[in-house]
Amino acid sequence: MENSWGIYSMYSRITISGNIVSENTYYGIYLYGGGNNIIERNTISNDQYGIYLYSTSNNSIDENTISNNSYSGIYLSSCGSNTLSRNNIFDNGQYGVLMRDSNNVNLDGNTLSQNKTGIYISYSTNATLTNNIMIENGIRIYGWDLEHWNTHNIETSNKTSGKPVYYLKDIVTPTTIPSTAGQVILVNCMNILIENLYSEGILLAFSSSNTIRNNEDNGILLMFSDDNIINNNQISNNDWSGIWLVYSDNNIINGNTVLENEYGIHLQDCNNNSINGNTVSGGTRGIMLHDSSNNYLTNNDVSENTHGIELWNSSGTKCDNNIITDNTISNNSHGIFLSNQCKNNTIFHNNFINNSKNSYDEGNNTWFNKSLNEFIFTNIDKGGF
C-alpha cells in the first residue's frame, strides 16, 4: 500500500539529504512547523506534491531534482523566509513552485521546465526571484491586495525560454517594453506599451491606460486594471483563460485571435468593457461574462466551443445590461447561454450557424432591437438542454 508521504518532519535543524522519494499518495517530503532545516540533493518524483512545507520558516531547499508530481514540485503554504536554490523542477502537473500565503521567499538559480506554471506567487508578499531559468513555463502572480503584487523583487536575470522577465511597478511615464521580453508583469503602472512580443504571458494589476498589441502570448491577465487596450494579439493553448479580466472596467478588447483555451475571453466582475472583432474558438467557453454588466460584445466570430457566448451570475451579484449584437456564432454546442437571474441583457442581429442549440435563456432578457423594432432571432430555448 502506498504511503501518504515519503519523509515527514515536525522538527527543527534537521538535514534531509540524498534520498530517492517516489510514488507516495500525497507528499514526497513534508515539513510541518519547525524550521532551520536543510533539504538537499534529493530526487523526488511521482507524488502529488514533491516537497510540501506548511507553517515553517528559515529552511533551505537546495539542489533537489523534482519531477512528475501531479500537482506541484514545491508547495509553500503559510511559510516565511525560506530559500529555494539550484533545484531542477520539471514536468509537474500544475506548478513547479507554488507559494501561497507565504512571505520573504527567496528563489535563486532554479531551473523550471515544462510545468504548466513555473512559479506561482499567490496571496504572498516580498518574494525575491533571481537567476531562475524557465523553459516552456513562466511566472504567475495572484492576489486581491496591492501588496500581493508590488512587494516582490523580480529581476531580469530571470529568463523564460531564454528571454528576460520584465517586472515593472509604479511606472507612470511613457515606456515601451523591449521586444526581447519573455514575460511582462506590470503593477501600478500607466502609459506602458507592450507590443511585438512572443512571450509566456502578460499580467497587469492595478494598472491603467496601457496598450497590449500585436503579441503572441501564453495568456493575458488584468486584475483591478481599467482603461487598457488589448488589440490584435494571438493567444492559444491555455488551460484557463486566454484573455482574463478580473475587477477591470472600461477596457477595449479588439481584433484578437484566441484559440484552444479553456475559456477564450473571460470577464469576472467587470463592467463597461468593449469586446469587438475577436476570433474565439475551441474552448469550453468562447466568451464568458461572469458577474459582469454593461459590456458590449459585437462583431466577434465565436466557433467550436461548448458554449459560444455565456453570461453567468453568482448568487447576489449581477450580470445585467450587456449588449450582444452582430456576432457570428457557429458550430458550438450552445450558441448563446444565459444562466438564471441574468436579466435586462439585449441580444439581437447575431448570425447563428450550425450550433447544436442556438440559444438557452434561464433569465429575463430581451432578444429584440427596440430601435429597429425587430426580433431578428426568435427561436429561444427557455427549457432544459
* 59-88 pLDDT, tens digit each: 999 999 999 999 999 999 999 999 999 999
Each residue of 9-37: b (16+ CB within 10 Å) or e? beeeebebeebebbebebbbbbbeebbeb
As a whole number, mean pLDDT of residues 249-259 equals: 98
Tell me how far apart the alpha carbons of residues 204 and 224 are, in angstroms, rounded to a whole number.
Answer: 8
Q: What is the pLDDT of residues 302-313, one digit of tens each?
A: 999 999 999 999
Write down the domain spans for the chain. Answer: 1-161, 219-385
**Higher-pLDDT residue of 3, 280:** 280
Q: What is the pLDDT of residue 384?
A: 34
Q: What is the pLDDT of residue 2?
A: 54
Please determine, for residue 164, whether its predicted confidence score (pLDDT) is greater than 80: yes
Q: What is the pLDDT of residue 239?
A: 77
Tell me how far apart the alpha carbons of residues 219 and 137 are, in angstroms, rounded to a whole number.
Answer: 12
Q: What is the pLDDT of residue 376?
A: 47
Residue 356 · residue 337 · CB < 8 Å: no
Q: Looking at 109-123, 168-182, 194-208, 303-317, which range is the least confident one?
A: 303-317
Q: What is the pLDDT of residues 184-194, one digit of tens each?
A: 999 999 999 99
Specify whether domain 219-385 bears CATH 2.160.20.10.
yes
CATH code for the part of the protein at 1-161 = 2.160.20.10
Tell me how far apart the alpha carbons of residues 50 and 369 are, in angstroms, rounded to a whole number.
Answer: 57
Residue 111 · residue 133 · CB < 8 Å: yes
Domain 1-161 identical in fold to domain 219-385: yes
Measured in degrees and rounded to the nearest 5, phi and psi for residue 59 equal -100, 155
Summary mean pLDDT of the chain: 93
Three cell numbers, residue 306: 461548448
Q: What band does 340 get if pLDDT is binned at 50, 70 and 90? A: confident
Is 0.85 topped by the overall pTM? yes
Q: What is the pLDDT of residue 244?
A: 97
Amino acid at 28: G
- Which position has the grid cell 534520498? 19
Three cell numbers, residue 191: 502609459
Measured in degrees and rounded to the nearest 5, phi and psi for residue 162 equal 85, 5
